[in-house]
Amino acid sequence: MSTENALLTILVEKINNDTLVLPTLPAIALKVRKAADDPDINLHKMGDVISQDPSLSARIIKIANSAYLGRSVKVNSISQAATRIGLSQIKNISTALAMEQLFVSRNDLVKDYITKVWNNTVDVVANAMAALQVYSKGHRGKLNLDTLTLAALVHNIGVLPILTEAERHEDVFANPTFLNVAIQKLSCPIGAKIMLDWGFEDAFVKVAEKWRDMDYQTDNVSYIDFVRLGAVLAGAFDSHKDDVMNLSQKKGMFEDLSVLQSDEFIEMRDNAKAIFA
């Protein structure tokens, strides 16, 4: 059996036996999501929860003051930031900001790989966010920017257990060729498992599970359309670039695709990317 097939065999067996070690959501993200689901929660209490993590607190204040929210008057406390962002958004935004904590490794090769995955994910997120902002100017829909932000951040989350497995057998599996094959074949079903394990809504499960599968389409414009578009614009889905672009027009997302190269789009993309800098 080739080394490549050996890695795939191990991963498939662990998936089938439900023994694959899945990443856990960062503790602060769990606390925020639990608090947000509490019917008695208020902004003051939410601020107290976020304040338990200094790093997240600083990033929440940063996003509250960012061009992402389009505000010029600065806030300087977590309670003010939570008020500005709002309870309806802070659940997904806090989760998104905590996600970077998962992209770590001790193995040098895997560390380099995982850093590239994170940086590419941020590029996908920024492009997807900018595309939705441009789209929303001409359409009134049910797609929320904060939900898309998190959906785009977790779209490739299934890569992490594959890299973890490679790290455990670094002498054999920590090889870009083997990792690329395993990621292409297994990251999406693993990603769906993670979303289910974390108790995320179906929209997130579908994005993680189906974003690479162009046979899966939604009747209406959906988050997965913007994730795919973000991936294409980030150079991460080149094999389906024409399909994604054509569908963007067919679904009426954009009449003229040149808008995705406009100064306005570039500014929105750069503002979105700055959130994760």
Residue range(s) defining the domain that contains residue 247: 3-23+96-274
pLDDT in tens, 56-65: 998 889 888 8
**pTM of structure:** 0.89
Q: Is residue 76 part of a domain?
A: no
Tell me the pLDDT tens digit for each residue of 110-136: 788 889 999 999 999 999 999 999 998
Backbone angles phi, psi at 71, to 5 degrees: -110, 140
Domain count, the chain: 1
Q: Is residue 233 part of a domain?
A: yes
Domain membership of residue 47 (yes or no) is no
Identify the CA nearest to 270 among candidates 127, 98, 69: 127
- Cβ neighbours around 131 below 10 Å, total: 27
* Among 26-30, 57-61, 103-107, the least confident range: 103-107
Asked if residue 228 belongs to a domain, the reply is yes
Give 209's pLDDT tier (boundaries 50, 70, 90).
Answer: very high
Confidence class of residue 20 from pLDDT cuts 50, 70 and 90? confident
**Domain with 115 in it: what CATH number?**
1.10.3210.10
From residue 74, how far is each of 49, 69, 78, 220 by CA, in Å?
A: 21, 11, 12, 37
- State the pLDDT at residue 71: 64
In a domain, 157, yes or no: yes
Domain assignment present for 178: yes
Question: CB neighbours of 83 closer than 8 A, spacing ≥ 6?
Answer: 43
pLDDT at 1 over 60: no
pLDDT tier, 154 (very low <50, low <70, confident <90, very high otherwise)? very high
Least confident of 30-44, 159-173, 250-264: 159-173
* 156 within some domain: yes
**Chain centroid offset of residue 54 CA:** 22
Q: What pLDDT does residue 179 have?
A: 77
